[in-house]
Amino acid sequence: MVSRDQSAMVAFVDRLNRRSSLSHAECGALLELRGRVSVARANIDIVSPGQRTDHACLVLDGMAGRFGQVANGQRQITALHIVGDMCDLHSIVAPRAGWALQALAPTSIMQVPHEQLLDIAQTYPNVARAFWRDCSVDASVLSQWLVNVGRLDARARLAHLICEMGVRMEEAALGVRTGFILDMSQDQIADALGLTPVHVNRTLKVLREEGVLELSRRFVRILDWELLVVIAEFDPHYLQIEPDAMRRAA
Amino acid sequence: MVSRDQSAMVAFVDRLNRRSSLSHAECGALLELRGRVSVARANIDIVSPGQRTDHACLVLDGMAGRFGQVANGQRQITALHIVGDMCDLHSIVAPRAGWALQALAPTSIMQVPHEQLLDIAQTYPNVARAFWRDCSVDASVLSQWLVNVGRLDARARLAHLICEMGVRMEEAALGVRTGFILDMSQDQIADALGLTPVHVNRTLKVLREEGVLELSRRFVRILDWELLVVIAEFDPHYLQIEPDAMRRAA
DNA sequence: CGACTCATTGAGCGAAGTCAACGTCCGTGG
DNA sequence: CCACGGACGTTGACTTCGCTCAATGAGTCG
């Protein structure tokens, strides 16, 4: 357990360090962060809308999503978080949650107190900058999703999501971009893409028949990455990953 | 000219101050910010995609939007900025622009050097926090747009945009929520909503025939605010405006 | 006046949604 | 160990919202 917690925290610090460069002392301080660990079953709120939080949520295991909801009950996922993501970093500056944070699969979360994060941010302004930068990456992803949902058809949108998650999984050392566990149901994928589950299913079938990818038992295997990138119009720039990783995605 | 520049800067500081509370000294320092003023005609890039900037853009006059683009040439607006908005605040931590920032109408911009902003942020950590918070509000708006584009139909989406801009215009003292200038063409509105211009036109007609609003010569007159809010499923919470303004929107 | 941009309207089409049935996997408890 | 139930995935038939293509109108500026 301890090692699992630790490895997620390492992934988080790596993630920050890949986009901002942190000193040894700064990394060390971040790695000292600790919080209460809680477990959520799939489709259970980790943070409820309107709730005021005093902690940020580090994903230790599983997967989480941010959900918007409309009057007729339909939902839209606005962010997906994998192991090593600090979902709620922005809650430091905006502690009242606007949306639900929910587990997509059985998920463990470490609740890192704002207090600890603020301490580090005050001691190391460079870390504060790294936090802000991390939030701006999330916003960049959000922009890309808006473009996709607004202007791409179902096939391209689905392909784009798979590309993004592949690159992110690889970045977080949770798999390779051509083979990784995407621990979401087709219903949840539909909520991320602004589609219906039925249409996601049909669209997956199309991609399968094109020989681009396979998705079964929540494992994605990409058979033709190059083609998938073309279908998705995927340009990993928006993920703001280090140059190395970006070159490999082209 | 000087007074116009000054009033936009005042609007920006007010905006920050409404969400974070700044001291007199902090406000004073912000009001000292100065930069080169440039003017852009409609549909001309203020910042081009991929460009590395050393300044943030304060809208002095007119209106600007952030544009994403897909392979077939379609565009998606991911953010709208009105007078007093610092469009590019996040460029302080992520100076490479991912998307185009374009004028929607004839627009004046003050290019505020990052250097000045960083100076203030270093001197006053509280201001750094306010900047970060302002970025998180932008992200919150982005989330709401994603939910709208993903899950609302054209009528609700259009109604929502009008509600949002009404409240923002009123907040920035550029009009009242039931009557304001929305300096965008129907083509641009379509790009903001993920629709086609033709469908925006038809949808406007529906709202006009329902007696909810009028939009002509870029002036919006809302005849039935309450109804518009219902149609849009508009809840201004996500704009994170001060309690006063929020109460009035309900 | 003419050229241009922007707004309006019609007719037909197509991508995605809706409704509904059925299949598959898996955990649970008799 | 098997029968049941529930969640998830698959497929078909039909509908609909928004798109495409195209023509025309209205306002504006040189």
Q: How confident is the model at residue A3 (pLDDT cuts 50, 70, 90)?
A: low
Give the chain A residue whose CA is nearest to the CA of B97. Answer: A238
pLDDT at res. A241? 87
pLDDT at res. A24? 95
- Sheet containing B55-61: which strands, arranged edge to edge? B36-40, B107-113, B55-61
Mean pLDDT of all residues belonging to chain A? 94
Q: What stretch of H or E contains B9?
A: helix B2-19
Q: How confident is the model at residue B241 (pLDDT cuts 50, 70, 90)?
A: confident
Across the interface, do A90 and B147 touch by the CB < 8 Å criterion? no
Give the chain B residue whose CA is nearest to the CA of A152. Answer: B70
Supply the angle between the helices A125-151 and B125-151 in degrees, to the nearest 10. Answer: 20
User: Does residue A137 register a pLDDT over 90?
Assistant: yes
Distance in Å, alpha carbon of A153 to nearest chain B alpha carbon: 11
Distance in Å, alpha carbon of A92 to nearest chain B alpha carbon: 9
In chain A, how many H helices and how many E strands?
9, 10
Across the interface, do A149 and B194 touch by the CB < 8 Å criterion? yes
d(CA B112, CA B127): 16
Question: Does the C-beta of A206 come within 7 A of strand C?
Answer: no
Q: Across the interface, which of A70, A139, A240 has its CB nearest the CB of B147?
A: A70
Q: Are B221 and B181 in contact (CB under 8 A)?
A: no
Across the interface, do B151 and A76 touch by the CB < 8 Å criterion? yes
Chain A positions touching B152 (Cβ under 8 A) are 70
Tens-digit pLDDT profile for residues A200-247: 999 999 999 999 999 999 999 999 999 999 999 999 999 998 654 443
Across the interface, do A152 and B238 touch by the CB < 8 Å criterion? no
Which of A114, A124, A147 to probe by mutation at the B interface, max B CB count within 10 Å?
A147
Residue A124: left (phi > 0), alpha (psi -120 to 50), or beta?
beta
Chain B positions touching A193 (Cβ under 8 A) are 150
Question: Does the C-beta of A218 come within 7 A of strand C?
Answer: no
Across the interface, do B135 and A136 touch by the CB < 8 Å criterion? yes
Tens-digit pLDDT profile for residues B13-61: 999 999 999 999 999 999 999 999 999 999 999 999 999 999 999 999 9
Mean pLDDT of A131-135: 96
User: Does residue A249 register a pLDDT over 60?
Assistant: no
Q: Which chain B residues have any C-beta within 8 angstroms of a chain A C-beta?
A: 66, 68-71, 74-76, 78-79, 90, 93-94, 98-99, 122, 125, 128-129, 131-133, 135-140, 142-147, 149-152, 193-194, 233, 237-238, 240
d(CA A83, CA A156): 26
What secondary structure does DSSP assign to A37-54, as a single string?
EEEE-TT-EEE-TT-B-S
**Token pair of A22 as six digits:** 């942190």
Tens-digit pLDDT profile for residues A175-199: 999 999 999 999 999 999 999 999 9
